[in-house]
Structure 1
Amino acid sequence: MTKSYMNLDVTYQFAVEMLKNKEPQEIARNAAVEYYPETSEFSVKYLGGTFLVSFNDGTVEPVEEIKVSLTEKILILHYLNTANGAPLQGKFISFKELPDGAIYIEPFTRRTIKPMLKLFAERQEEFVELAKTIGAEIQDLGDTSVTIYPFPKVPITYVIWSGDDEFPASGNILFDASAPFYLPTEDYALVSGLVIYQLGSLLQNSK
């Protein structure tokens, strides 16, 4: 992970301070989330769950009884801080096309594409069915592909090509061209992997 995630407490506090310096109604509009003035809280959809984020002190709490890591709390705050309301463009770009993405392509591939193929290259039907449980949309790329929205304005498309006797299975992870307006590049490496991790947990629980 890049330097900003090396000290999580500092990164979290920095994100909290950034949030305080913004206008809450504008944040809500740009990020497509709800804001409740009576409690000064945002309601944020993240990976199928709902989280309440305090505008006053930046606390992030799940509505459901689920665990949320400090890293994920930072990710949610980064989404609120970065989102600028840009419309989705409907054009796919690769991780390398994100700002500075080429620099981090090796760790991105190691943490996202390789685990996806290890878990699902031979279980593509299960991949689709599990992805549907967190709101995935089916695509027509590769042999199997789905678009998952970890945040309301952040579609991520997972693509798998089946292997054969000559070539192993391969895959890619694609983003909407508006992606730089919603999260920093390093966060796309993080959240793309977290989606695969969640699908892997669902797979394990289904056995």
Structure 2
Amino acid sequence: MAWMNLEPAHRQAKEEFALREPGSMAFNAAVTYRPETAEFIVPFLGSYYLVKYPGGEVIDAAGGSEVPKEVQITLLHYLAKASPAQVEGRLISFQELPGGFIYVGPFNNRAVRPLVGIFGGKPELLVRAAEMLGGRRVEIGDVAVSVPVLPKIPITFVLWLGDEEFPPSGNVLFDASASRHLPTEDYALLPSLVLGKMRRLVCH
């Protein structure tokens, strides 16, 4: 995976970002660009980040700790790669993303298993966490939520509750437009960032 070694991935993401025209990036990604300060304002998981152009520095708009490399790479990739395509409202599985079968192992380990492990026995916390991030409950499985991760990237988390015969199970679904805005390998890791944030919000 491109993210397994974060430093080269971060460096390449900054280089690709610097080659793009800021006005086009802002339009395609549905974010604000301030020419006077040469920075993008990007909403991500309930927070706002400033991304400097062309250097690619990422700053938490609220201040505080340094932005994790994984988040920096995600935002830079999104700005550089987002297309004019709009959210379609049709859900697809990870395997339906281009080359998704290649990353299905890491995806299950980083997304599906943590989803079930964290929220399988506490589905009400999944709903509460999603709502805290601007998400909403949707009618799939037994309990499901759609979380607006980035302006054009909602992610849907689905749980099937267990019973006496079967343990809880789950899945993570994407909008059919997902491949137009980020490469597939990013989607193998992105749900884990969302789950980590949701866990911090409601699991004490």
Output the TM-score relative to the length of structure 1: 0.94
What residue ranges of structure 1 are gaps of 5+ in the alignment?
none
SS at match of 1:5: coil
- Which of 29, 32, 35 is the equivalent residue of 1:31? 29
Q: How many residues align?
A: 203
* Residue 182 of structure 1, CA deviation: 0.8
CA RMSD between the two structures? 1.1
User: Among the aligned pairs, what percent are the same residue?
Assistant: 43
Measured against aligned partners, the alpha-carbon deviations of 1:127-165 in whole angstroms (never above 9, x if no partner) come to 101210011121010111000011000010000011111
* 3-state SS of 2:125 partner: helix
Secondary structure in structure 2 of the residue aligned to 1:64? coil
Tell me if structure 1 keeps the 8 A contact 2:31–2:42: yes
SS in 1 for 2:56: coil
- Equivalent-residue separation in structure 2 for 1:8 and 1:126 (angstroms): 31
**TM-score where L is the length of structure 2:** 0.96
Structure 1 counterpart of 2:6, one-letter code: L
**Alpha-carbon distance between aligned partners in 2 of 1:96 and 1:190, rounded to the nearest angstrom:** 14
User: Aligned equivalents of 1:18 and 1:115: distance in 2?
Assistant: 31
* Counterpart in the other structure of 1:144: 143
What secondary structure is seen at the aligned counterpart in 2 of 1:145?
strand
Correspondences of 1:1-207 after superposition (within 5 Å): 2=1, 4-67=2-65, 68-205=67-204
Regions of 4+ moved over 4 Å: none
Please state whether the residue corresponding to 1:50 is helix, strand or coil. Answer: strand
Matched residue type, 2:14: V
Any gaps of 5 or more consecutive residues in structure 2? none
Query: How many Å separate the matches in 1 of 2:132 and 2:86?
Result: 26
- Cα pair 2:128 2:202 within 8 Å, conserved: no
Give the 3-state SS of the residue equivalent to 1:159 in structure 2.
strand
Letter in 1 for 2:25: I
One-letter amino acid of the counterpart of residue 51, structure 1: Y
CA distance in 1, matches of 2:64, 2:119: 25
Q: Which moved further from structure 2: 152-161 or 113-122?
A: 113-122
How many Å apart are 1:66 and its aligned residue?
A: 4.4
CA distance in 2 between counterparts of 1:93 and 1:170 reads 17
**Distance in 1 separating the partners of 2:171 and 2:154:** 14
